[in-house]
Structure 1
Amino acid sequence: MPGIDESLLEIMRLPGARGASLVDWINGLALGAVGDAPGGDPEATAAETAELARHAAESGSLAVPGPDGTGGKEQPVEDLIVTTADAYHLVRFVPTPFDSTVFLRLWLDRGEGNLALARIRLAEIAARMVLG
């Protein structure tokens, strides 16, 4: 099971990957980062992306009722995609046995990257990731 550094390096092997990080959405700190960051400031990117992720994670309107359909345990948001003219910004929440507050962030070149492949690979990496 890969740790933070190995996971981020694996993400950077995706075609079109420009930068990746693991961010805590509670405090906005990057726990690890590789590659470039939009605007050139990885700390600012982590903090700004954390704010977006926090809003999505805490939003009751984005959660889906549980499998029994009665509103039991809600299914959390899995990922977010923000599209710009030249890039995709993917946020994938990392599931853990405890209340996880971290997500993977990928900055993907829109001309070179494959959004579907990136979503699949981020989900796989997040599921295997070892935190700690």
Structure 2
Amino acid sequence: MPDMDVALKDAMQIDGAIGAALVDRSSGMALGVAGGSRDFDLQVAAAANTEVVRAKLRTMEMLNLHEKIEDILITLDSQYHLIRPLTGRSGQGLFLYIALNKDRANLALARHQLKRIEGGLDL
């Protein structure tokens, strides 16, 4: 089973990938990152997207929804941002985050590939 570095490298192979991170939901810290740039700080994105996940979990609790989040999609003018909370026992409290160039990415395929990466991740 792939470790975190291999999983992030695999995420960066997704068409249109700008950057990817494995994030601890409780602290907002990126445990590992791949890609990004000086103008796209994955550490900042990890911390900020932690708030997105927390807000959605609070909303689900208030609505008494007892389902798992498969993924969260944020669509910008030129980018897709995908957040995939990990569901395996070893990944509890973590999520995969990837930013994609909208012109180059196939959203359905990217979601499928992130699910596959999650399934093979060994933490």
Same fold per superposition (TM over 0.5): yes
Deviation at 1:41, TM superposition (A): 2.1
Q: Which runs of 5+ in 1 are unaligned?
A: 65-73
Per the normalisation by structure 2, the TM-score is 0.90
C-alpha deviation, 1:14, in angstroms: 0.8
Q: Which letter does structure 2 place at the counterpart of 1:113?
A: A
Kindly tell me the number of residue pairs found equivalent between the two proteins.
122
Instruction: Please provide the CA RMSD for this pair.
Output: 1.9
Residue type of the alignment partner of 1:26: S
Q: Which runs of 5+ in 2 are unaligned?
A: none
**Cα offset, 1:43, TM superposition:** 1.7
1:73-124 superposed Cα distances (whole Å, 9 cap, x missing partner): x221110000000000000111122681100001000000100000001011
Specify which structure has the bigger relative contact order, considering alpha-carbon pairs within 8 angstroms and separated by 6 or more residues: 2
SS in 1 for 2:95: strand
Superposed, 1:11-90 pairs within 5 Å as: 11-36=11-36, 39-58=39-58, 59-60=60-61, 64=65, 74-90=66-82
Q: CA deviation at 1:61?
A: 5.3
* Contact kept? 2:30, 2:43, Cα under 8 Å: yes
- SS of 1:60's partner is helix
The letter for the 2-side match of 1:84 is: L
User: Bigger CA drift: 122-131 or 107-116?
Assistant: 122-131
Q: TM (normalized to structure 1)?
A: 0.84
Q: Which has the larger displacement, 75-84 or 32-41?
A: 32-41
Which letter does structure 2 place at the counterpart of 1:76?
Answer: K
